Structure 1
């Protein structure tokens, strides 16, 4: 397995030694430079997965080095973590404005440093995988185009399919761009708050918030990759008998922070002997996205009902909230963001969430039915019907 290559840039050799000691327990390939010019030369001749960059250096400071690297195609995607003893909000914001991903304060906390390095390396590799998958999608479009050029039959229908595929790719990329903004904004916001916490050397709550934002960002990348895999039949299912209560339990565990934030209560009423046939990982993701949609839209301190009932030899699982209804027309597109019409007024879409698209693709893979309906007493009911095991 290829080792992650990390470049440390600091004009103080003792700082480099400390960082090398901290990183020595991980399987990294560590390089170093004592000034900005040497760092740039190394980046031109070598490839790195991450750069730990000191801000305060003579001749060429860390801001200048980062700005230069972000202006070049070869180095613009390398994550940069600033090393600094300064915690002024203006300095922090300046770092993010020129393209840095994060910062670590001196003296270094070993556990925090490794956690941040691992987070940004993991995010970088997932983004690279996503780019590769997008490239495959573009190649598929190109291949389809060549097929169409070789055939004169059913030209109108073939062109429509090609157009739909191209628009699907654009909608997918647009979705990623939109969803990535929120956690990135969270990182910047919490970084500002850290100034107060670090000065008082107490309360690492804000550090945890930053990690949560990064985790959310990585989660979005994971879902994007899964979406593409499901969309183009690259996922191999493993069908087992799975208790519905276990699916709900595992999914709700992942959503504890959101449940706490929204101050909602989950009321579960499902017999323990209700077991469905399906792929465990996909059904957990499916339930997680349905619950996430309900929790996000439910009023604070309200109750969300999760239940199940027998319908012949199948089990219907449902999640009910008391939030806003889907707008007229929105229900029609709940599961089909790949087919949203450009002339639709997006302002009418009040509760649409891309997570429900994942639910539909999962259910399609199981050859199962999923429904979304507005409840007459208020709120929304999302349900799916699976064979009993």
Structure 2
């Protein structure tokens, strides 16, 4: 089936050029001269991607993008901005409103086609994962109901469920590998392009591409971790008694480059001399790193503080930042499922928070997400039980 693209531009000549390029490359397409016309198209037609001009009268590209992303029926369509501006603020505003990429005018035709194809393929890959995940969950539910009704062959039923679980894990591993294969190709191409001299705006594009690919790769790995933990639960943990204070300090140090690049200050303080906890060291590091990276991502200036104290057999790890707030204090809507239909760039929807939640709950601990009382940042508190030998 041919991919269908909506092209939105108030300049008829630009529309003609893009439409001719898409037609030559076997795409189906529709055109709109303004944002309102684009929204009308979306009411009656499904598209695989949208090429959206930024500067348009009445309703500019940013407002159009924001409206599209607010619609659950269309929020997953990748939107690529077409802009004559090289201004970083405009580019940032485009990503903040839900865009996945941007191309500056006059554009290179080959570059436009490569980016368009990449985002369409990534969208389809995500949809396949979600569809198959839903199908597998449905199959597991059917098998569970059969066990309840029959109640005479539990061992056989358990083995069947195990096979489905293994099949799901194998599938997600395969999908993760398949996603990384094209990503590696993109990374290699970017590295090759970086070996040549380019104009400053081309360097900016390459930098943005490299950042986007890194985020996609990280998302794939994190999603796979979540799936494995959901399927195998505590059996996935390799628990051993470890003093976690050095791990906390080492994790902060590992992220030094990330927070210094944003001119952020990070500090750690501890009211304990020792905190022995039965943990899976790698998963603990991954979860703590995920939370700190989330603070770094959503903090543009200010401080990130990590404070620990031990009380009544429990260690409390508090991560405080001056970043953007959680839009809702009730996180149940997010933590019920990875299949979250809201893909807006909001802190509540960071998959890192979901991974950390699962990890600390499996360790018999808890995690709380709150905004500061002064409304200038957030506080994340992790609580874990100390090993019995460490309780005084």
What TM-score, normalized to structure 1?
Answer: 0.50
